[in-house]
Amino acid sequence: MNPTVSTGRLSWVALAVIVVIAALAPLYTSDFFLNVILTKALWLGIAAASLVFLAAYGGMVSLAQVGLYGVAGMTYANLVLADGGSSAAWNPWLAVVAALIVATLVGLGFGWIAARSEGIYFLMITLAFSVLVFYFFSQVTQLSGFGGVNNLDLPGILGNPEQDPAPRYFVTLVVSVAVFLLLRGVSRTAFGLSLQGVRDEPARMRALGFDVTLHRMLAFAFAAFIAGVAGVLSVWYNRRITPGSINLEQTINILIIAVIGGLYRLEGAWVGAFAYALIDNYSREWVPDVGNVLGSARFNTIIGLVFLIIVLLSPGGLVGIWESARDRLTGRRRGGGTPTTTTTTGPEGGPAPSTVK
């Protein structure tokens, strides 16, 4: 599939509105919602954003992101004070730096191998990477403990999330906004532009003297760094990490999140993560029990069906649905303008909350 990559961007006004609404969330939502839906959606969104960045700007749909964030999470978990894993007890911030460096280096290595393949081969090779990381950590109990690594030491800035989830939420929000702006910024640099050239016309770029493989590899390492950020946030969120939390199911969940939101729009990552967290938590309540086939225990069937429907009907995901709906509306108002994915203009306050959370 050579997708129609949308070049539309969220306007600064819309972004500001969304961030303000998100920042005020502790005022109007419960601690439960803040923690289980919003915080989780934010870090899942970062993980999905690293995938979206590669897919949208590099044309590489990578399934290795969960493996990479698992590497970062495991590194952090082993370096700080915790139950299980290695006995090191580093300063949490130092461990964060180390975790990000390790994830980026592993990503560089993976990228070196995978960057020479394209399209569906790339998908399969990165899937194999991710699952191999999972098997590695399940086998090597010196690193992953027998019941995972638990009770991780957190940096002081997070306070005590069990009592007050707000600080952790704010940290995750700030990091999410920073990641969003960073990814968007990188896509506008010379590197980002040549990466998009590599995505569209690798042969021509090669003829122009660009090192195609190097660009892919560096983009992959950069996305690994972002995935590493998500990994650190995920262990801050869970306060534990087990091999089971980075298995194939999670790999596919991140892919599902990216696809639900819109595989070719950065903000889609967070839209998808928000939708995923909502379905994850509330589907158990409203889904009717149909024998053994459908019901509160069949979350994976529901998320699989949502995924299937999105892939079948709207490859652009929720963001794509929203954009085509808006284009149809505004197009009618303008008198039948061509439905193009143009830059979002004007404050889109209405749908905004769902766009970042």
Partner 1 sequence: MSDTVDSSSGGDVQHEGDASARVTTGGVIAAPEVAGSGRRWTPMRIVYALIAAVVVVFLVVKAADDLRQFVIVTLNGVTLAALYFVVASGFTLIFGLMRVVNMAHGSLYLLGGYLALEMQEAWFKEDTGLNLSLSGASDADYSFIAWFFPLIFATILIGCIGVVLQQVFLRWNQGQDLRQALITIALSVIIADQMLAAFGGISKDVAAPTAWPTSVLLPGDVRFGFFRGVIVLGSALLIGLLLFLVIRRTRFGKIVRAGVDDRDMVSALGINVNLVFAGAFFLGALLAGFGGVLGGTMISLAPGQDTAFLLNSLIVVIIGGMGSLGGAAIGALALGLVDAYADVYLVIGDTDLTNYSILVTFALLVGVLAVRPLGLFGRPA
Interface ranges with partner 1 (CB under 8 A): 1, 3, 61, 113, 116-117, 119-121, 123-125, 127-128, 131-132, 135-136, 139-142, 247-248, 252, 255-256, 259, 292-293, 297-301, 303-305, 307-308, 311-312, 315
Tell me how far, at minimum, the Cβ of 75 lies from partner 1, in Å: 17
Give whichever of 25 and 102 is closer to partner 1, judged by the CB atom. 102
Give the other-Cβ count within 10 Å of 98's Cβ.
18
Task: Report the alpha-carbon distance of residue 319 to residue 221 in Å, rounded.
Answer: 27
Nearer to partner 1, 292 or 343 (CB): 292
Q: How far is the CB of 22 from partner 1 (least distance, A)?
A: 29
Q: Which is nearer to partner 1, 126 or 187 (CB)?
A: 126
Residue whose CB is less far from partner 1, 73 or 317: 317
Q: How far is the CB of 171 from partner 1 (least distance, A)?
A: 32
Alpha-carbon span 340 to 271, nearest angstrom: 21
Closest distance between partner 1 and the C-beta of residue 200, in Å? 15
Q: How far is the CB of 297 from partner 1 (least distance, A)?
A: 7
Nearer to partner 1, 305 or 325 (CB): 305
- Smallest gap from residue 225 Cβ to partner 1 (A): 21
Q: Toward partner 1, which CB reaches closer, 300 or 340?
A: 300
Query: What tokens does 145 get?
Result: 């403990």
- Return the number of the residue (114 or 195) whose C-beta is nearest partner 1: 114
- 346 sits in the region (left: phi over 0; alpha: psi -120 to 50; else beta) called left
Quick one: 17 or 219, whose CB is closer to partner 1? Answer: 219
Task: Give min distance, CB of 292 to partner 1, in A.
Answer: 5
**Minimum distance, C-beta of residue 303 to partner 1, in the bound complex (Å):** 7
The residues, any chain, with a CB within 8 Å of residue 340's CB and separated by 6 or more, are 327
Q: How far is the CB of 61 from partner 1 (least distance, A)?
A: 6
Compare residues 42 and 115 and give the one whose CB is closer to partner 1. 115
Gap between the Cα atoms of 348 and 177, Å rounded = 18
Answer for the pair 18, 348: CB distance below 8 angstroms, yes or no: no
CA distances from 280 to 185, 196, 234, 276 (A): 32, 34, 16, 6
Which residue in 67, 64, 37 sits closest to 231, CA to CA?
Answer: 67
Alpha-carbon separation of residue 155 from 74, 84, 208 (angstroms): 16, 19, 47
C-alpha separations of 51 from 151, 154, 167 in Å: 29, 27, 27
* Closest residue by Cα to residue 262 from 6, 1, 58: 6
In angstroms, give the least distance from the CB of 216 to partner 1: 12
Nearer of residues 95 and 133 to partner 1, judged by Cβ: 133
CA-to-CA separations, 123 to 31, 106, 341, in angstroms, rounded? 38, 17, 27
